[in-house]
């Protein structure tokens, strides 16, 4: 049974539950106390010791049901009994006249199939599966490989030989055996598919995320958007964790003599309690200007999602969206869900042809005072202004007022300055200019922006 | 204090908790049983008012153990949770012992000898007599064990969590001046959390994780039965079924078990024998704590009440 538990832990990892060795030891100890007799108690025990959040409990519960719905590989003792049973059966077959006499020349697998003993077949599949290392399956492309391995373990070779022999001597029996073999193949295939579901989930997810992370944001397909959002949320969490902790550690500065003396006045100023000066650290203030025209829109979408989920790290974010003209969208993003917010923004300013000059002018007229020397201004756009006046002078004034200006461009560096791209003229006034087309580049860009404050 | 009652099976836990008026689901009983068997704290999560804190009280009551409660809040630190030096006492003693000190040092001829003698007494003021034990240290020092309830751990700072790790995994604390203090008898530790913030993995890893959600209808009826004994069977069934319908609505704060019990008490006080529209409307504020929730629920009251009484007629 311990093997079974180990296999279950692997399956649990596959289901996305983080099972550390310490937790698996706890689970073992727990199980040894409650025993295996009652499945619901076993389930509760594993859920209590392994899953550490509600989502994990749900995933693990499903995994448990899936895992214990399949027959367990029979233990050594059992298989001996099986062998004994086989021998008995063979003996019976010998005694029985007619068709029975035929089957004694057959291999064990063929005999098993003809006897139609479902539990025995299932147990044999389970044994072969563990011998073939089915728990190592990771990707769906391995299905064929593992199916054939399992079948080989069960002795498909001998079965085929038997089939060939039978077709010549006993066509009726051969047909029965062919049908049974097809059934067997199907069972094995199901079994492999189930194993893939159990053990392969995490790998598949990692692979998919890895691909997504490096995919150009502007060109992802609609069905991937949900996954992408999840990925962006993950990034936000990572950034939060990275940048919110060291702040606290480094905050303590020198001894604050005045406050220490005051605090210890009750003890004749013998300093029992110390007071420390705190270093004041400013959190980043961010003003984001996002182009939401055409191909840039999707990148802006994810960028805004990322920035706005960084509440703990960033003290103040104001977001603006523009294509032809510029509006503030902070409230929309705060109040609504990501999808609704983007739809709302798009219906207000989206899909126009972009005019950087007049958008900058809008910003200067109405919101210039929101830019302070603590502010990082981030502009996200391809700088293609349709040959209209780029008004780089406004960007210069923004740069003078702010701490930094960062320009994120979804286009590759090679295309900057060609066609109607005004990138080289804007570039002069930016502290940092970087390409930002994939989620990974996005994460690095935001991470660098936040890091400059630490 | 009598000897703590033993925990020998999950059923014993269930009936023991029931004797305290706490009707536990199988999962809760399993958690309590396991935590005792493999000596692990239980981290209880779930919405407010489903009986997380009650669980600790029930365990303490049933097993005849002392309950020590540590309420967490922002800014809770070592000095308030673990131990503190009794500064005033230390100062007082130094003043009183001043003369004595002179006597002791009087015999010394050189400064060096005096210092040597002083060193021998140096640790007197940082000894156990001057430690003020706070809840965590108290819990470790109980000779018969106890139930330690660390309430609303999610309200404390992340740093405080790290402070707990040593206690949770080894039932001991290290005080720099005194060394390591281990538990006389490992206490039963219950931590509760409303998931206000995500707890660290290190903390979670050291605990059994128990999630208490809203109970099923049958279980909730039993809970009401045990907590509000005067209630009639019909009313009890209708009331619980009504609350289950309310929970399907999109509310700011779902009514939880504690609200169910309060409401049942109110209805008993009003001498209701059955659920009526008027009465529900008048007492809805016991159940729902936000004006907007009450407004959202009002249009559904009639349907829910009708459903509840219909279900009762057939069930």
Q: Per residue in A193-206, pLDDT tens?
A: 888 877 776 677 77
If you average pLDDT over residues B277-286, what whole number do you get?
Answer: 87
Q: Two tokens at A422? A: 């005004």
Q: Two tokens at A184? A: 């067997």
Does the pLDDT of residue B192 top 90, yes or no? yes
CA distance B292 to chain A (A): 18
Does the pLDDT of residue B315 top 70, yes or no? no
The confidence score (pLDDT) of residue B103 equals 75
Interface contact flag, A48 B45, Cβ < 8 Å: no
The answer to whether A435 touches A218, Cβ cutoff 8 Å, is no
Phi, psi (rounded to 5 degrees) for B196: -70, -35
Does the pLDDT of residue A79 top 80, yes or no? no
d(CA A393, CA A373): 18
CB of A51 within 8 Å of a chain B CB? The answer is yes
Does the pLDDT of residue B311 top 80, yes or no? no
Percent of chain A past pLDDT 90, that is, above it, reads 2
Task: Look over chain A and give the mean of its residue pLDDT values, rounded to a whole number.
Answer: 79
CA distance B85 to chain A (A): 10
The confidence score (pLDDT) of residue A13 equals 81
Interface contact flag, B34 A52, Cβ < 8 Å: no
Between residues A221 and A94, the one the model is more confident about: A221
CB of B9 within 8 Å of a chain A CB? The answer is no
Q: Which of residues 246-265 of A touch B (CB under 8 A)?
A: 248
Q: Note the pLDDT tens digit of each residue in A289-311.
A: 888 887 677 777 787 777 777 76
The confidence score (pLDDT) of residue B148 equals 93
What are the percentages of helix, strand and coil residues in chain B, rounded to 5? 55, 15, 30
d(CA B16, CA B24): 10
Positive or negative CA dihedral for A312, A314, A318, A321? Answer: negative
Confidence band, pLDDT 50/70/90 cuts, at residue B189: very high
Chain A residue closest in CA terms to B28? A44
Suggest the residue from B10, B211, B212 to mutate for an interface test with chain A (most A CBs closer than 10 A). B211
CA distance B118 to chain A (A): 20
Nearest CB partner across the interface for B38, out of A33, A53, A54: A33
Does the pLDDT of residue A246 top 70, yes or no? no
Show residues of chain A in contact with B40, CB under 8 Å: 26
Show residues of chain A in contact with B33, CB under 8 Å: 33-34
DSSP 8-state assignment for residue A390: -
Chain A residue closest in CA terms to B92? A267
CB of A107 within 8 Å of a chain B CB? The answer is no
The confidence score (pLDDT) of residue B28 equals 92
CA–CA distances in Å: residue B182 to residues A269, B41, B186, B208: 35, 16, 9, 21
The confidence score (pLDDT) of residue A419 equals 83
CA distance A52 to chain B (A): 6
CA distance B265 to chain A (A): 32
CB of B211 within 8 Å of a chain A CB? The answer is yes
The confidence score (pLDDT) of residue A245 equals 56
d(CA A238, CA A214): 17
User: What's the complex ipTM?
Assistant: 0.80
If you average pLDDT over residues B113-123, what whole number do you get?
Answer: 72
Confidence band, pLDDT 50/70/90 cuts, at residue B313: low
Backbone φ/ψ region at B80: left (φ over 0), alpha (ψ -120 to 50), beta: alpha
Match 């012992």 to its residue by tokens: B97
CB of A26 within 8 Å of a chain B CB? The answer is yes
If you average pLDDT over residues B139-155, what whole number do you get?
Answer: 90
The answer to whether B175 touches B131, Cβ cutoff 8 Å, is yes
Phi, psi (rounded to 5 degrees) for B148: -100, 120
The confidence score (pLDDT) of residue A294 equals 72
Show residues of chain B in contact with A248, CB under 8 Å: 159
Interface contact flag, A41 B30, Cβ < 8 Å: yes
Does the pLDDT of residue A22 top 60, yes or no? yes
Match 């500064």 to its residue by tokens: B87
The confidence score (pLDDT) of residue A55 equals 79
Show residues of chain B in contact with A268, CB under 8 Å: 91
Confidence band, pLDDT 50/70/90 cuts, at residue A93: very low
Show residues of chain B in contact with A19, CB under 8 Å: none
Show residues of chain B in contact with A26, CB under 8 Å: 38, 40, 208
d(CA A227, CA B119): 67
Show residues of chain B in contact with A272, CB under 8 Å: 85, 87
The confidence score (pLDDT) of residue A250 equals 54
Nearest CB partner across the interface for A22, out of B27, B205, B211: B205
Show residues of chain A in contact with B79, CB under 8 Å: none
Interface contact flag, B27 A53, Cβ < 8 Å: no
Q: Note the pLDDT tens digit of each residue in A357-370.
A: 889 999 999 988 88
If you average pLDDT over residues B86-101, what whole number do you get?
Answer: 80
Percent of chain B past pLDDT 90, that is, above it, reads 18
d(CA A272, CA A190): 71
Does the pLDDT of residue A402 top 70, yes or no? yes
Q: Two tokens at B242? A: 């009504």
Chain B residue closest in CA terms to A56? B209
State whether residue B273 is helix, strand or coil.
Answer: coil
Task: Look over chain B and give the mean of its residue pLDDT values, rounded to a whole number.
Answer: 85
Which stretch of A334-348, B70-84, B150-164 has the lowest confidence by average pLDDT? A334-348
d(CA A384, CA A396): 18
Nearest CB partner across the interface for A33, out of B31, B37, B210: B37
Interface contact flag, A30 B38, Cβ < 8 Å: yes
Q: Two tokens at B150? A: 């660390």
Interface contact flag, A54 B45, Cβ < 8 Å: yes
CB of A274 within 8 Å of a chain B CB? The answer is no
Q: Note the pLDDT tens digit of each residue in A101-121.
A: 444 577 788 888 888 777 888
């Amino acid at each position: 049974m311990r093997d079974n538990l180990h296999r279950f832990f692997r399956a649990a990892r596959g289901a996305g539950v983080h099972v550390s060795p310490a937790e698996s030891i706890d689970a073992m100890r727990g199980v040894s106390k409650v025993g295996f007799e009652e499945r619901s108690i076993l389930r509760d025990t594993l859920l209590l010791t392994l899953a550490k959040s509600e989502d994990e409990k749900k995933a693990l519960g499903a995994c448990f049901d899936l895992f214990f719905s399949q027959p367990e590989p029979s233990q050594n003792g059992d298989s001996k009994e099986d062998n004994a049973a086989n021998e008995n059966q063979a003996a019976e077959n010998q005694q029985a006249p007619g068709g029975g006499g035929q089957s004694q020349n057959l291999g064990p697998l063929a005999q098993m199939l003809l006897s139609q003993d479902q539990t025995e077949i299932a147990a044999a599949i389970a044994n072969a599966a563990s011998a073939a290392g089915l728990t190592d399956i990771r990707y769906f492309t391995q299905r064929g490989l593992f199916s054939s391995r399992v079948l080989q373990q069960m002795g498909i070779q001998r079965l085929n030989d038997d089939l060939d022999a039978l077709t010549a001597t006993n066509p009726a029996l051969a047909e029965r055996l062919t049908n049974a073999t097809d059934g067997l193949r199907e069972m094995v295939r199901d079994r492999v598919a189930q194993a893939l579901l159990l053990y392969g989930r995490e790998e598949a997810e990692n692979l998919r995320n890895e691909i997504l992370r490096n995919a150009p944001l502007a060109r992802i397909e609609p069905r991937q958007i949900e996954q992408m959002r999840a990925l962006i949320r993950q990034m936000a969490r990572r950034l939060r964790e990275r940048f919110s902790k060291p702040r606290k550690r480094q905050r303590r500065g020198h001894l604050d003599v005045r406050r220490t003396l005051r605090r210890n006045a009750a003890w004749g100023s013998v300093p029992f309690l110390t007071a420390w000066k705190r270093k004041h650290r400013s959190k980043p203030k961010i003003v984001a200007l996002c182009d939401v025209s055409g191909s840039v829109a999707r990148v802006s979408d994810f960028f805004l999602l990322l920035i706005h989920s960084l509440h703990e790290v960033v003290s103040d974010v104001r977001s603006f969206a523009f294509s032809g003209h510029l509006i503030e969208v902070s409230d929309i993003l705060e109040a609504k869900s990501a999808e609704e917010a983007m739809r709302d923004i798009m219906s207000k300013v989206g899909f126009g042809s972009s005019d950087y000059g007049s958008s900058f002018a809008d910003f200067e007229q109405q919101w210039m005072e929101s830019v302070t020397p603590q502010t990082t201004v981030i502009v996200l756009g391809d700088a293609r202004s349709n040959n209209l006046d780029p008004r780089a002078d406004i960007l210069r004034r923004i740069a003078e007022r702010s701490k930094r200006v960062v320009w994120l461009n979804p286009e590759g560096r090679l295309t900057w300055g060609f066609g109607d791209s005004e990138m080289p003229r804007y570039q002069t006034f930016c502290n940092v200019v970087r390409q930002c087309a994939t989620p990974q580049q996005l994460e690095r860009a935001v991470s660098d922006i936040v890091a400059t404050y630490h | 204090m009598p000897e703590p009652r033993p925990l020998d099976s999950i059923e014993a836990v269930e009936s023991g908790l029931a004797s305290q008026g706490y009707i536990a689901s199988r999962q809760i009983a399993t958690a309590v049983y396991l935590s005792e068997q493999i000596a692990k704290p239980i981290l209880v999560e779930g919405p407010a008012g489903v009986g997380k804190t009650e669980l600790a009280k029930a365990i303490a009551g049933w097993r005849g153990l002392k309950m020590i409660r540590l309420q967490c809040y922002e800014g809770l630190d070592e000095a308030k949770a673990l131990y503190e030096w009794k500064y005033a006492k230390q100062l007082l003693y130094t003043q009183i012992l001043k003369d004595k000190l002179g006597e002791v040092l009087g015999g010394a001829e050189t400064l060096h000898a005096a210092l040597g003698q002083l060193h021998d007494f140096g640790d007197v003021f940082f000894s156990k007599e001057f430690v003020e034990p706070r809840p965590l240290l108290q819990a470790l020092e109980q000779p018969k064990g106890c139930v330690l309830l660390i309430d609303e751990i999610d309200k404390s700072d992340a740093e405080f969590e790290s402070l707990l790790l040593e206690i949770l995994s080894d039932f001991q604390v290290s005080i720099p001046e005194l060394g390591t203090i281990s538990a006389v008898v490992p206490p039963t530790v219950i931590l509760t959390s409303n998931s206000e913030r995500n707890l660290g993995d290190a903390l979670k890893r050291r605990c059994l994780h128990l999630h208490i959600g809203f109970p099923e209808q049958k279980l909730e009826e039993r809970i009401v039965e045990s907590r509000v004994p005067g209630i009639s069977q019909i009313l009890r069934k209708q009331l619980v079924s009504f609350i289950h319908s309310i929970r399907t609505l999109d509310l700011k704060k779902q009514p939880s078990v504690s609200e169910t019990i309060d409401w049942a008490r109110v209805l008993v006080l009003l001498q209701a024998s059955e659920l009526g529209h008027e009465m529900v409307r008048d007492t809805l504020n016991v159940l729902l704590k936000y004006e907007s929730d009450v407004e959202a629920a009002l249009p559904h009251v009639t349907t829910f009440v009708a459903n509840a009484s219909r279900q009762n007629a057939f069930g």
